[in-house]
Amino acid sequence: MIEVKNMSKSFNNKLVLNNINTVFEKGKTNLIIGQSGSGKTVLMKCCIGLEMPESGVINFDNRPFSTISEKKKTDIRKEMGVLFQGGALFDSFNVEQNVMFPLNMFTNKTLEEKLERVNFCLNRVNLENVNKLFPSEISGGMMKRVAIARAISNSPSYLFCDEPNSGLDPKTAEVIDALISEITEEYDITTVVNTHDMNSVLQIGQKISFLYKGQLWWEGDKTSILETDNPELQDFVFSTELTRRLKKK
Amino acid sequence: MNKRSISTPLNVTKKTSFYLNKTHFKIFGQFIKLSPDHQHLIQLFVLLSSKLQRTFMLKLLGEYLILMFETFKRPDKYSVFRRQLMIEFIGLGVDSIGIVAIISVFSGAIVAIQTAYNIDSPLIPLTMVGFTTRQMMVLEFSPTIISLILAGKAGSRIASEIGTMRVTQQIDALRVMGVNPANYLILPKITASMLFNPLLIIFSIGLGISGGWFACVITNLVASADYIEGIQGWFEPFTITYAIIKTLVFALIISSVSGFLGYTLEGGSVEVGKASTKAVVYSSIIIIFFDLILTQMLLV
């Protein structure tokens, strides 16, 4: 469980996050949604420690994260898996080396054990016979899946995914969403997904936090979001022609 | 000299001020063994760059020192560090052997021919050609010119590699995994450069002297025996120590400055190109500056 309390953050005197209070629950896929510029990415960056919140606290299972020393942060970071928007795979490593990287850094497993774990993680994300390929030799969807395999290779307690479906076709996006949801339930981890893809929201949104102009505007799940009477959220949810037509039906 | 020129603000904030004064210049002048007559050159240099220092250089220097503090920490895992070190030995060292060899052979040959061409007086023995070539290669050409070449080759490689990792969030990925990215990425490069560059310079000195001999023999300007006698004469072993000390300092400058410029990059692919260019320019300028300081300290 990740708890965010009274968190605010500004850049150049412009308030980007304004007094955010929320809880990302364990064993659930927690979605942060909102328009571009609403503060989703900043909220996630604060949670993973790439940005420092100006006020407020973030607790990982009652362990304070934002206020502790860099060394103690490192211990909590070892329990995190992060899927970046572009995958952020290491160019100079092949798929196998990328997935093995956290194991090389933080475990004392033998090469055989590490290879076994790598193959398990790659199988888990439905990838086979790609071990020796480099990131430049695989598709965008495969890169995302390799990045998920790398994120789960060291059995994290917290999984963060920043725009996991950006740049993917709807079919592949659905596969990635299903994968994230399955992994969350299977390993009982706290997953936080940052997205503005309504398909993801309706498919895997067990807990949804809607950010609007830096404020936490609404919270609910994939069922209640369709029945909301909140005008800003309605604008967001029914912003496309497709969703508007579905609403009329 | 007016008051302004001898009391130059170095870092002015609302709360604190630090001024370079006559005493600082005197100490610095003594440190690099400048005569009191020449100390006004340092004063002039500081005066001309004072504005730049306040707004830019001190900020950069502070950021650089903070990054180096992060870099020179115990590696997260030594087995991973050793593997990275081997990769850098190949990328920064072995891959540079070709260009170092070509430039060294031709430099030695050119120095030998030019020296022979300039010896007109029959009172100067032709053994001076070998002596001059050796001294030039040991004292300046190999440690400094080859380091400048490496600043271009290795420096741009380091800055663009780390810069690309920055813009593609690979450095962020390392940090959120709990890895110290500066230590993981920059320390192996600095270590590899400082261990391999002295070998490259020794290799360059040997090839340069050989190139000089080859040029003399081919052109018949100097007899082989005279040249070989020249390279053996008046040899001071300290010159090799001097060359290696300079090389070590230059290797640290090239790898750390380039690493710093790549690591602190902000923006996209255009910035990667700019960082790569800056790495070469900054490294080259700092190398030349430290060349002067080290020469004054070690040889004068």
| Pair (A96, A71) in one structural domain | no
DSSP symbol at B36: G
Q: What is the pLDDT of residues B85-119, one digit of tens each?
A: 999 999 999 999 999 999 999 999 999 999 998 88
> pTM of this prediction?
0.83
- Band (B163; pLDDT cuts 50, 70, 90): very high
Instruction: Report the first-to-last Cα separation within chain A, whole angstroms.
Output: 38
The distance of A198 to chain B (nearest Cα, Å) reads: 25
Shared domain for A49 and A145, answered yes or no, is no
pLDDT reading at B294 higher than 70: yes
**CB-based contact A82 B77, cutoff 8 Å:** no
Contacts with A, B 71-100, CB within 8 Å: 76-77, 79-80, 87
Query: What distance in Å separates the CA atoms of residue A53 and residue A7, rounded to the nearest whole number?
Result: 6
Q: Which of A103-112, B45-54, B240-249 has the lowest mean pLDDT?
A: B45-54
- Both A166 and A45 in a single domain? yes
The verdict on residue A84 lying in a domain is no
Looking at the domain assignment, is residue A116 inside a domain?
yes
Question: Do A169 and A241 reside in the same domain of the chain?
Answer: yes
| CATH number (domain holding residue A169) | 3.40.50.300
Type of residue found at B255: S
For residue A78, give how far its alpha carbon lies from the nearest alpha carbon of chain B (Å): 5
Considering only CB atoms, which chain B residues are within 8 Å of A84? 169, 172-173
Give bridge partners of residue A63 from the DSSP assignment: A60
Rounded Cα gap, residues B59 and B61, in angstroms: 5
- Residue A48: list chain B partners with CB under 8 A: 176
Give me the percent of chain A exceeding a pLDDT of 70.
99
Kindly tell me if the per-residue pLDDT of B126 is higher than 70: yes
CA–CA dist B291, B144 (Å, integer): 7
8 Å CB contact of B79 and A75 = no
- Annotate chain A with three-state secondary structure: CEEEEEEEEEECCEEEEEEEEEEECCCCEEEEECCCCCCHHHHHHHHHCCCCCCEEEEEECCEECCCCCHHHHHHHHCCEEEECCCCCCCCCCCHHHHHHHHHHHHCCCCHHHHHHHHHHHHHHCCCCCCCCCCHHHCCHHHHHHHHHHHHHCCCCCEEEEECCCCCCCHHHHHHHHHHHHHHHHHHCCEEEEECCCHHHHHHHCCEEEEEECCEEEEEECCCHHHHCCCHHHHHHHCCCHHHHHHHHC
Is residue A166 domain-shared with residue A241, that is, in the same domain? yes
Domain that holds residue A216: 1-79+158-175+186-249
Distance, CA of B83 to CA of A222 (rounded, Å): 47
The mean per-residue pLDDT over the stretch B76-86 comes to: 93
Q: Give me the pLDDT at residue B50, please.
A: 60
Q: Which of B80, B172, B175 sits opposite A105 (nearest CB)?
A: B80
Contact criterion met (CB < 8 Å) for B77 and A80: no
Judge whether A45 lies within some domain: yes
Same domain, A140 and A239: no
Q: Which residues contact B39 (CB under 8 A, 6 or more apart)?
A: B25, B26, B29
Residue B13: per-residue pLDDT: 38
A74 plus A112 within the same structural domain: no
CA distance, residue A241 to nearest chain B CA (Å): 33
Does residue A223 lie in a domain region?
A: yes
pLDDT at position B221 over 90: no
Question: pLDDT at position B39, please?
Answer: 55
pLDDT of A103: 93
In a shared domain, residues A208 and A247: yes
Give the pairing of strands A2-11 and A55-60. antiparallel
Measured between CA atoms, the residue of chain A closest to residue B70 is A70
d(CA B287, CA B300): 19
Cα distance from B78 to chain A (closest Cα, Å)?
A: 9
Number of H helices, E strands in chain B: 14, 2
CB contact under 8 A, A80 and B177: yes
What pLDDT score does B7 carry?
38
Mean pLDDT of chain B: 85
- Helix, strand, coil percentages in chain B from 3-state DSSP, rounded to 5: 80, 5, 15
Q: Which residues of chain A have pLDDT under 50?
A: none
Q: Are B190 and B85 in contact (CB under 8 A)?
A: no
Backbone angles phi, psi at B77, to 5 degrees: -150, 125
Question: Do the domain assignments include residue A124?
Answer: yes
| A132 and A109, same domain (yes or no) | yes
The answer to whether residue B125 scores a pLDDT higher than 90 is: no
pLDDT at residue A197 in the model:
85
Asked whether the beta carbons of residue A106 and residue B178 sit closer than 8 angstroms, the reply is yes
What residues in B contact A75, CB-CB < 8 Å? 178
| Structure confidence by residue, pLDDT tens digits, B8-39 | 333 333 334 444 555 655 555 555 555 555 55
Q: In this predicted structure, what is the pLDDT of residue B290?
A: 94
d(CA A178, CA B227): 77
- pLDDT at residue B232, as a whole number: 92
Do A60 and A100 belong to one domain?
A: no
Which chain A positions have a beta carbon within 8 Å of B87's beta carbon?
Answer: 92
Report yes or no: A5 and A179 within 8 Å, Cβ to Cβ: no
Judge contact between B257 and B279, C-beta under 8 A. Answer: yes
Residues from chain A that touch B165, judged by Cβ atoms under 8 A, are 90-91
A239 and A167 in a common domain:
yes
Written as six digits, the tokens of A203 are 């498919």
Contact between A7 and A20 under an 8 Å Cβ cutoff? The reply is yes
Report the number of distinct structural domains present in chain A. 2
Domain assignment of residue A180, yes or no: no
Residues A164 and A69 placed together within one structural domain of the fold = yes
pLDDT at A222: 85
Rounded percentage of chain B residues whose pLDDT exceeds 90: 68
A123-154 tens-digit pLDDT:
988 888 899 999 999 998 899 899 999 998 98
- Report the residue from B169, B175, B178 with minimal CB separation from A86: B169
Whether this model's ipTM surpasses 0.85 comes out as: yes
pLDDT at residue B147 above 80?
Answer: yes
**How far is residue B152 from each of residues B146, B202, B231, B243, B254, measured CA to CA in Å?**
10, 19, 30, 20, 9
CA B227 to each of CA B115, B176, B237: distance values in angstroms, whole numbers, following the listed order: 12, 61, 19
Task: Return the residue of B nearest to A73 by Cα.
Answer: B178
